[in-house]
A and B are shown apart, each in its own frame.
Chain A
Amino acid sequence: MSVAQSNKPVAASFWNDSGKKGIGSWIFSTDHKRIGLLYLYSVLGFFLVGVVLGLLLRIELMAPGRTIMGAATYNALFTVHGVVMIFLFIIPGIPASFGNLVMPIQIGARDVAFPKLNLFSWWLYAIGAVIVLTSLFSGGGAPDTGWTFYVPFSARTGTNVSLAVFGVFVLGFSSILTGINFVTTIHRLRAEGMNWGRLPLFVWSLYATAWVQILATPIIAITLVLVIAERVLGTGLFDPGRGGDPIMFQHLFWIYSHPAVYIMILPAMGVISEIIPVFSRKPIFGYKMIAFSSIAIAGAGSLVWGHHMYTSGMSDTAVMVFSFLTFIVAIPSAIKVFNWITTLYKGSISLEAPMLFALSFILLFSIGGLSGLILGAAGTDVHVHDTHFVVGHFHYVMFGGTGFAFFGAAHYWLPKFYGRRYREKPAIVGWALMFVGFNMTYWTMQVLGMRGMPRRYYDYLPEFANLNLVATVGSWILATGLIIVVVNLWRGLFWGEPFGVNPWNGATLEWTVATPPPTENFEEDPVVTHAPYDFNKGVGIP
């Protein structure tokens, strides 16, 4: 990569220390930072693909009737948009990219516990992604089942579901391996003095996430194999005509896919827990409760999958139990939000780009979380089930939450690893456009859903036309902001002003090492003597 030449590293940074050059020094590297960047570029690439697909979907919905595509194309596009965004971007998004980049340094390790396994994970991710992409252009064409692959339709449709599902299966392996790797790393490779009470909260969130990955991902893997068996061998497992049970598929699917939502959001919460104290110049309020709530979310979040299935015909008792458990999950989420806000109180707040993303995360995630309670309550869910309200809700949580945290993390940490920084003004303009466009798009969707507009149809009643136009224009504003943010980051990281060792004045270990960090991270193994947000004793104070 040309990056290595354009940088002026102080020490032998990881950019040019491997002795090798060219693409091979990256795709066969076992350095966690290089693997983290491989993930970063991959997920960002797929994110942009997903964005383009999303924009096309919004253009189709701009006016009633056929606008730019027919029903079949629309079905395929929203499926691919979902599969790409969920399996290729948002699940590996923060944990695999920023987790790999930052976590080992934050705990004072020289690398993850299994560097080769780490590289293998990325390869599995790449192979899985290629298979998923191949499924779009081969066989019967792109899957049209929605990203949930619900039977019986997924067992019967002539589109290329089997291959897509196999790709997702491979991606699952990548996720499990990363989970095992991170859990082991956090247990075994912490530096001297880095006890559990001094772990940065981002590490805590990755730890909780990793356990969810280890426990839940195998379930989706097997479920997807069963779908392939259903299609290829006609096993009839999900076919009531042959003694099977279609609801069993939904149970199996959501037993993974709901915890997967926490795989997506927990690391994002970890990012916010890093940014808020640094840009408030105040130790985080309620460190223990935030760490505990990550574990609590991972635990309780594994028991609520049934809330996706209130209208599926499962028993009323199960509906009530799942509804109750869903309300329980709101508690640890609220603990985090309240603690972040309390941290801001009387803090010396500096509104730089990472902080703006973090603050907007709190607002957007809260809106998404509260609309989630409307869906979690069994009664109200029946009214808005399978409407645009659901689409609005999960975009608030996933994009407004994890997406904004992803860009917050990018502005916060990437300059450290590139040694150069972005320009502040375009970052803020981009953020502002994203924020406005985002709310225009997805708030409008929630209103549309409340009024009864169903999801997953390319056409709708004329009465929904105005609001749909608003949402589509919003998506253009959002995309404009996104382009500004990405271009500004790209320009800045490669050609921007040099970035010092610790300009943000962070107190966690990554701010003690050289910029960009050397291959094995530390000149000497660090000894940790203070809490991660103790700015008075902080190693980061210049």
Chain B
Amino acid sequence: MEIVAGQKRGRALSVWAVLLLMLSIGSAAPVAASASVLSGAAARQSEEGATQVGVDERLGGKLPLDLTFRDETGRTVRLGDLITGPTIILPVYYGCTNVCNYMQGGLARVLPEIKNKPGTDYRILSLSIDETEGPELAAKYQKMYLSSIKASVPPGAWHFLTGDAASIKKFTDAAGYRFQRRGRDFMHPVASFVVAGDGMIVRYLYGTSFLAKDLTLALVEARQGRIGTTIRKVVGYCFSFDPASKSYEFNLLRVSATVILLCCGSFFAFLVLTGKKGKRKPVGEK
């Protein structure tokens, strides 16, 4: 009975109010969370820069495709002949007793979960950063990893490369991958990256374990829309790269922050633009 403005307008406003409430509840919190990136990223990056070993991300940079390496059969191959589409590159050394195995094993484990077909949709290259290793050792590791995968992967889908020190250096410099020899072993970052068919680096992936969605998205990006369907493009847009945790995460935060600000903005605009009030009945009338 106390609704003093016109009924219709009151109802329209109520709808607005409820809509605004729902949207704000659902989405505003994350406005904040994007700020949390402020917290750790800078510190972590400076820690990495302090050592001789690390990754300087060269996103968008191109790998020198005319470098030559030897594949697991001993054949000399041009990098450009292997990188013809989306390619996952793992800088490792085969004599590594530690994380290189975990990283390659982690990739082998996740491959069956990726819908794209290895060999046809993308290729994997393990590249030894140890110039003393040769095709023999590479062939042994190829056999080991391919047989460990619970899906059929053609041998041409995952090459195990070796090369001379100069080629390795040129390659890792181009990728911003800094490592150091320590006796027979190496200090090196645990990182891999995904490149497009023209050798452009599209993503760095960190750590020894891979998530299927991370890889799939990286491959979608690498494909640059040639194979990716429309839905994948949308997904590729909504997911972004979080430099602090170095892994993909669904950026609900930014999307919803935009939604809430737009809602509040349009609520404000609605109030301002639609005038002050309806005609009122005389006091006392219900």
Contact = CB atoms under 8 A, between A and B. Distances in A.
Given A113-B5, A184-B271, A218-B29, A315 B260 contact: no
User: How many B residues touch the partner, as a band?
Assistant: 35 or more
B39 A245 contact: yes
Interface stretch (A64-72, A144-152, A185-193): A185-193
Interface string B1-31: 1111100011001100100110011111111
Contact of A190 (B30, B272, B276): B276
B10 A222 contact: no
Given A30-B1, A187-B276, A218 B27 contact: yes
B32 A189 contact: no
A38 to B, nearest CB: 15
B42 interface: yes
B21 to A, nearest CB: 6
Contact of A114 (B14, B20, B277): B14
Nearest to B278: A188
Given A117-B17, A218-B27, A221-B29, A183 B39 contact: no
A316 B43 CA distance: 9
B139 to A, nearest CB: 36
B156 interface: no
Nearest to B280: A525
Interface string B33-58: 10110111111000000000000000
A218 B28 contact: yes
Contacts of A524: 282-283
B274 to A, nearest CB: 8
A110 B283 contact: yes
Interface in A343-398: none
Contacts of B132: none
Contacts, number: 143
A5 interface: no
B284 interface: yes
Interface residues of A, number: 53
Interface stretch (A52-60, A75-83, A125-133, A247-255): A247-255
A113 B40 contact: no
A212 B245 CA distance: 31
B260 A218 contact: yes
A219 B17 contact: no
Given A111-B4, A180-B20, A189 B277 contact: yes
Contacts of B264: 211, 214-215
A214 B28 CA distance: 10
Given A189-B5, A251-B39, A222 B14 contact: no
Contacts of A109: 4
Main secondary structure of the interface of A (DSSP, over half): helix
Contacts of B271: 183-184, 187-188
Contact of A115 (B2, B21, B26): B2
B13 A113 contact: yes
Contacts of A188: 5, 9, 13, 271, 276-277
Nearest to B286: A520
Contacts of B282: 524
B24 A218 contact: yes
Given A113-B13, A248-B36, A219 B21 contact: no
Interface in B244-286: 244-245, 247, 260, 264, 267, 271-272, 276-277, 280, 282-284
A219 B14 contact: no
A114 B13 contact: yes
A255 B35 contact: yes
Q: Which of A30, A180, A218 has most chain B Cβ within 10 Å? A: A218
30 contacts: A110-B4, A114-B14, A177-B17, A177-B21, A180-B20, A180-B21, A183-B267, A184-B17, A187-B276, A188-B5, A189-B4, A211-B264, A214-B24, A215-B24, A215-B28, A218-B25, A221-B25, A223-B29, A245-B245, A251-B39, A252-B33, A255-B31, A255-B35, A256-B32, A306-B35, A315-B41, A315-B42, A318-B39, A520-B4, A520-B284
Interface of B: 1-5, 9-10, 13-14, 17, 20-21, 24-33, 35-36, 38-43, 244-245, 247, 260, 264, 267, 271-272, 276-277, 280, 282-284
Going nearest first, the 10 A-B pairs with the smallest beta carbon separation are A222-B29, A218-B28, A255-B32, A314-B39, A248-B36, A315-B42, A187-B271, A218-B24, A111-B2, A318-B38
